[in-house]
Amino acid sequence: MVSLLIAVVVMAIVFDYINGFHDAANAIATVVSTGVLPIRTAVLLAAALNFVGAMAGTAVAKTIASGFADPAQVTQGVVLAALIGASIWNLITWWFGIPSSSSHALVGGLAGAVVAHAGLGAFKWAALGQKVLVPLVASPSIGFVMAFFVMVGLVWLARGHLPALGKVFAVLVWAGLVALTASQWWAGRTHAFEEAAKKGVDTSTLELEYGALLGLLVVTAIAALFVGRRLYGAAPQVVAKLARRMQLVSAGLMAFSHGSNDAQKSMGIITLALLSFAAAHQGALPEWMPEWLLPKGDSVPTWVIVVCAGAIAAGTAAGGTRIIKTMGTKIIRITPLQGFAAETAGALTILGASRLGIPVSTTHVINACIMGVGASKRLSAVRWGVATNILVAWVVTLPFSAGLAWLSMKAIALLGG
């Protein structure tokens, strides 16, 4: 049992690493394809911000740990089979340069392994619909629409064609986003302080964290207003220069959001394995095992957060160019301004999902955003043949990874796992 637990943890770290280099393109495809940053600089920047983003929360990890299957129904073999199935599918799609979803590969793997072990009734199919299938459609759609309108707004600004009413509308949109961000900051701060009060934890660190975050939000809001004013009616060379600088910020935000969602999936799967281990031993743990290794309640152990954050960062730092080429040049020929619009829309969509604990596909979102900025120019600007191939990969990821995990579980069972 202990050896299987160790195998699961190692395999989860391997999956997280594979996720990092498989999905490195999510954060940096546009910034590399537009020539704003060389690929090695881009992947190192993305790796650092992946790590920071992964440390920013655990809502998605909790969904993976208990949202799809009861830990009492899950064995170490089940979790290992899920990881094997998801990893094989990730490697296949990476090899062929297909930007598929690591998130859906993992959930599909978990479904296939649970069904192989305990039957169809053991998996929470309703949760699959609510937490995966609905976001499968909703998150790319939101990203596409947001990227489309962000790009249209940027083009209007750059051309100086924004009428008086349009200027008022632009300011209202900006003010609405500021108000929405401020409300989210206040809600997060209130929740954090309530949780700290329940646990009797000192809140001085929280004061510093949320104070620093508020300062960052204020600076960002002022910078957005300044950039909009500078962009309005600017000469083409000024727009191009400003867009390249803006894309540095949006690429960093995209990398942060990628870490905030994708790294948590491995955190969740390790936490599920630890909960299963604890349930199997009914509290009578081996003498050598310290209590801090196991989750307390529904919390994710600190060591799991740090290890998974490091694994996805290392994987991103090793990211190759196969999927970057597909996303950055084959869907549309992307410009720095389009890259900024796509990355900003994608990052906001993913960060919203991370806050709600929804394991969305960062791959699907950023691809949809790239399609959205392309469509804002004209529909024919998008290479719909390539886009269709990507859509097919989205559809088949869940069943194929489930099938691979099902076979892996049967093989593990034959070996006595």
Average predicted confidence (pLDDT) for the chain? 80
**Terminal C-alpha separation, the chain:** 9
Residue 129's pLDDT band (boundaries 50, 70, 90)? confident
Residue closest to 278 by CA, chosen among 80, 135, 71: 71
Q: Provide the residue ranges of all domains of the chain, joining segments of one domain with +.
A: 2-162+232-414, 164-231
Give tens-digit pLDDT for 132-170. 788 778 888 898 998 998 888 888 888 777 666 666 777
CB 42 within 8 A of CB 250: no
407 or 131, which is more confident: 407
Per-residue confidence (pLDDT) for residue 116, from 0 to 100 = 92
* Burial 14-51, CB ≥16 within 10 A → b, else e: bbbbbbbbbbbbbbbbbbbbbebbebeebbbbbbbbbb
Contact assessment for residue 255 and residue 27, using Cβ atoms and an 8 Å cutoff: yes
Residues 147 and 1: their CA atoms lie apart, in Å, by 48
Percent with pLDDT over 70 in the chain:
86
How high is the pLDDT of residue 165?
66
Place of tokens 């720095």: 336
* Of 105-109, 118-122, 288-292, 410-414, the least confident: 288-292
* Whole-number Å distance between alpha carbons of 299 and 359: 17
Can you say whether the dihedral through the CA atoms of 280, 282, 285, 291 is positive or negative? Answer: positive
Reported as a single tens digit per residue, the pLDDT across 366-406 is 888 888 888 887 776 666 666 676 677 778 888 999 999 99
- Taking CB atoms within 8 Å and a gap of at least 24, the contacts of 164-170 are 170/228
Per-residue pLDDT reduced to its tens digit, 198-250: 767 677 767 776 777 778 778 777 877 777 778 888 888 888 888 888 888 88
Q: Which of 287, 305, 324 is nearest to 59 (CA)?
A: 305
